[in-house]
Amino acid sequence: MVKEIYLDNAATTPISKEVLADMNDKLKNVYGNASTLYQLGRNSKRILDRSRHIIAQSINADDNEIVFTSGGTESDNTAIMQTALARKKLGNHIITTSIEHEAVLKPLKYLENHGFRVTYLPVDSKGNISLSDFKKALDDDTILVTIMTGNNEVGSRMPIHEIGEILKNHQAWFHTDAVQAYGLLDIDVKKDHIDMLSTSAHKLNGPKMVGFLYRRNGINYPSFIKGGDQESKRRAGTENVPGISGFATAVKNLPSTEKKHRQDVYYQYKKEIIDGLKKNQIDFEINGELNRHNLQHVFNIWIKGISTYVMQANLDLAGIAVSGGSACTAGSIAPSHVLTAMYGTKSPRISQSIRISFGRYTTESDIQFLIKNIAKIVKQIKKRKQEEV
């Protein structure tokens, strides 16, 4: 068996021991339906309340502003589709960026086909949008602005705080997809004037198919998944109490200090990779930018002359998992819409880049092993090419 090194933590992360232990406890002992009257059910309700509180505090929200969902996709779809439904009388314009996740872009595409106007803000080569573009796009018809906190392919961060400030005096509601950022950044929904925010537990060593949608008090729309009265009638369906409790445990394990620590460690990993590749005389460039501000768990590089597919497959043979883009564009190696937005369709970067993403269990030696193998693969391929010439 080859060594297994997982550097695809932006796609999904392994569940942590603490989270799994907590879920096992709840699965075995607290299986009452939280909506029922008797003690078993009341225990479920208590765990639900406690989890909600932990999670609300993590973003400085009130407990009743947290609605548990089945994950990032549902949270994004809910915020977008239901805002459009509730507010179509006020206007039909929506602003987003060209580098959002498909869970945002797909519902927007649907709305575009049904009479809404969507502005996709362009990004520069660093993966950043410009605030002046944003201000220009904003008009009296704008009912929703949905802009991600940080990008899943290149780690660039959007000016959430500034956008929130601008929208304070505008009718548009502000949604941000924080699925990638939530595990690494301190987010304060009050300070940043965020109306809605999406997360997904499996990106921070929590369980899959669990997430939440923060929805500021005062923001009202009909529920997306309708049925029973769970989640104060805002999300129907028997509550996934063990999953929600596991999510809260994952969040509890990520205090501010830990998030800062990880940002630092991952930043160092990036620098090591850069140094290591340079030392091995590999011709590469960063897609986006190395700075202290970005999401540090995502590192996207262009290894010149070597196709994404070849590099990924060879690393895979060596036991190293990296991604050719975002995993969520299910199994496809279609060109990344993020890199395309940054560099244009003709850039060789589109077909010669890999995404390396770090997580809680990534180690120093994983990074060294990665560097060694990239160097080896590049040399082999170069050699083969020379022989062919």
| Catalytic residue positions, numbered | 328
Number of residues binding to other proteins, judged by CB under 8 A: 77
338 binds other proteins (CB under 8 A): no
Site for other proteins in 99-128 (CB under 8 A): 101-104, 106-107, 109-110
Task: State the Rg of the chain over Cα.
Answer: 22
381 interface partner picked from ligand PLP, other proteins, none, CB below 5 to 8 A per type: none
159 interface partner picked from other proteins, ligand PLP, none, CB below 5 to 8 A per type: none
226 binds other proteins (CB under 8 A): yes
State the minimum distance, in angstroms, from the CB of residue 329 to ligand PLP. Answer: 10
Residue type at position 353: S
Dig out the tokens for 137 from the structure: 């796009």
Nearest CA among 370, 338, 56 for reference residue 212:
56
State the minimum distance, in angstroms, from the CB of residue 156 to other proteins. Answer: 20
Query: Can you tell me the distance from the alpha carbon of 12 to that of 365, in angstroms, rounded to the nearest whole number?
Result: 21
Number of residues that make up the chain: 389
**β-strand pairing of 353-357 with 298-303:** antiparallel
Site for ligand PLP in 164-223 (CB under 6 A): 177, 179-180, 200, 202
Q: Residues 20-49 vs other proteins: string with x where CB under 8 A?
A: x---x--xx--xxx-xxxxxxx--------
129 binds ligand PLP (CB under 6 A): no
With CB under 8 A as the contact rule, the residue among 171, 256, 332, 380 that binds other proteins is: 332
With CB under 6 A as the contact rule, the residue among 16, 72, 99, 357 that binds ligand PLP is: 72
Nearest CA among 131, 86, 139 for reference residue 111:
86
State the minimum distance, in angstroms, from the CB of residue 156 to ligand PLP. Answer: 12
Dig out the tokens for 335 from the structure: 């060109």
State the minimum distance, in angstroms, from the CB of residue 282 to ligand PLP. Answer: 28
Task: Report the residue number, 88 or 382, with the smaller CB distance to other proteins.
Answer: 88
Dig out the tokens for 249 from the structure: 């445990």
300 interface partner picked from ligand PLP, other proteins, none, CB below 5 to 8 A per type: none
366 binds other proteins (CB under 8 A): no
CA angle 168, 174, 177 (to 5 degrees): 145
Query: Can you tell me the distance from the alpha carbon of 380 to that of 202, in angstroms, rounded to the nearest whole number?
Result: 36
Task: Report the residue number, 70 or 307, with the smaller CB distance to ligand PLP.
Answer: 70
Dig out the tokens for 210 from the structure: 């669990």
CA dihedral 16, 21, 27, 32 (to 10 degrees): -110
Residue type at position 350: I
312 interface partner picked from ligand PLP, other proteins, none, CB below 5 to 8 A per type: other proteins
State the minimum distance, in angstroms, from the CB of residue 311 to ligand PLP. Answer: 21
Nearest CA among 62, 60, 70, 97 for reference residue 182:
60
Residue type at position 7: L
Number of residues binding to ligand PLP, judged by CB under 6 A: 17
With CB under 6 A as the contact rule, the residue among 13, 16, 51, 73 that binds ligand PLP is: 73
**Strand-pair partners of 213:** 67, 198
Site for ligand PLP in 230-259 (CB under 6 A): 237-238
Q: What SS3 class is residue 285? A: strand
101 binds ligand PLP (CB under 6 A): yes
Contacts (Cβ under 8 Å, ≥6 apart) of 144: 80, 83, 84, 87, 94, 95, 172, 173, 175
Dig out the tokens for 257 from the structure: 């200090």
Residues that bind ligand PLP (CB under 6 A): 71-73, 76, 101, 103, 148, 152, 177, 179-180, 200, 202, 227, 237-238, 328
